[in-house]
Amino acid sequence: MWLAEADDLKLIKCNKGLTGFSALIVLVALMLAAITAAAAVFMTTGELNTAVQGKNRPDDVQFEQAIVVEQVMARDTDSDKKLDEIDFIIRYGRGNNRIYFNDTIIYAQSSVTDCPEFEFGASAGNCNYSLTYFQRGTKWRDYTLSEGDIARLRVTNVTSVEDRNAIFKFVPETGMIAHIQIDFPKRIMGSNYQVWPVK
């Protein structure tokens, strides 16, 4: 029964070879299908995780600085076209804890002030900043910054010198540091002159 002529043996050997090659193709196809399925599950899991993390966020900005500086105004209080005060208009950065101004320092690297840092309140002496709220959010509390709050921080210990590369850093107790670079001209035009962002 197992005896066959030479031509039949060649055919049988050929068929066995095709069977092995077909199995290899099936194996590769199964591996590709498994990899594709794993990638789909991985991507879906990542998208769901992102959606869960961001479901309470009203916009696409997931991570921001704890304090967001919106505008910097150079003020001339006596009409001599010289810098007398600096106003920083700030808002709360979403995704951070409440900011306490008693624990927030403004570091200055600039020739427009002799103060290397400014702290909140009169107890800090000449190197202090004052606080005024322009808008109060639903979670507002005095001397803090939370969602919906817009405030002005004012420093007055400044000198009227040109500084084309002044750097100010807003450092809260927790959260990312806000870092801005300002170009202060020698003379300012008007009593409230915007120096940052550049118009």
Give per-residue pLDDT as tens, 121-173.
Answer: 988 889 999 999 999 999 999 999 999 999 999 999 999 899 999 999 999 98
pLDDT at 87: 97
> What is the percentage of the chain residues whose pLDDT exceeds 70?
79
Instruction: State the average pLDDT over residues 105-131.
Output: 94
pLDDT at 151: 97
Angle of CA points 151, 135, 143, to nearest 5°: 50
Domain ranges (residues) in the chain: 1-56, 67-196
Looking at every residue in the chain, the average pLDDT score rounds to: 83
Higher pLDDT, 6 or 117: 117
Q: pTM for the complete prediction?
A: 0.68
Higher pLDDT, 74 or 34: 74
State the residue for tokens 């959606």.
51
- 8 A C-beta contact, residue 130 and residue 154: yes
Q: Is the pLDDT of residue 53 over 60?
A: no
> What is the percentage of the chain residues whose pLDDT exceeds 90?
53
- 8 A C-beta contact, residue 171 and residue 123: no
pLDDT at 130: 96
Strand ranges inside the chain, DSSP E:
67-75, 85-92, 99-100, 105-109, 117-120, 128-135, 144-145, 150-155, 163-171, 178-184, 192-196
Angle of CA points 96, 97, 98, to nearest 5°: 120
Q: Which of 71, 75, 72 is nearest to 191 (CA)?
A: 75
Instruction: State the average pLDDT over residues 19-46.
Output: 81
Instruction: State the average pLDDT over residues 2-28.
Output: 61
- By DSSP bridging, strand 117-120 and strand 128-135 are parallel
b/e 157-167 (16+ beta carbons within 10 angstroms → b): bbebeebeebe
pLDDT at 199: 65
Listed range (20-24, 34-38, 86-90, 118-122) with the worst mean pLDDT: 20-24
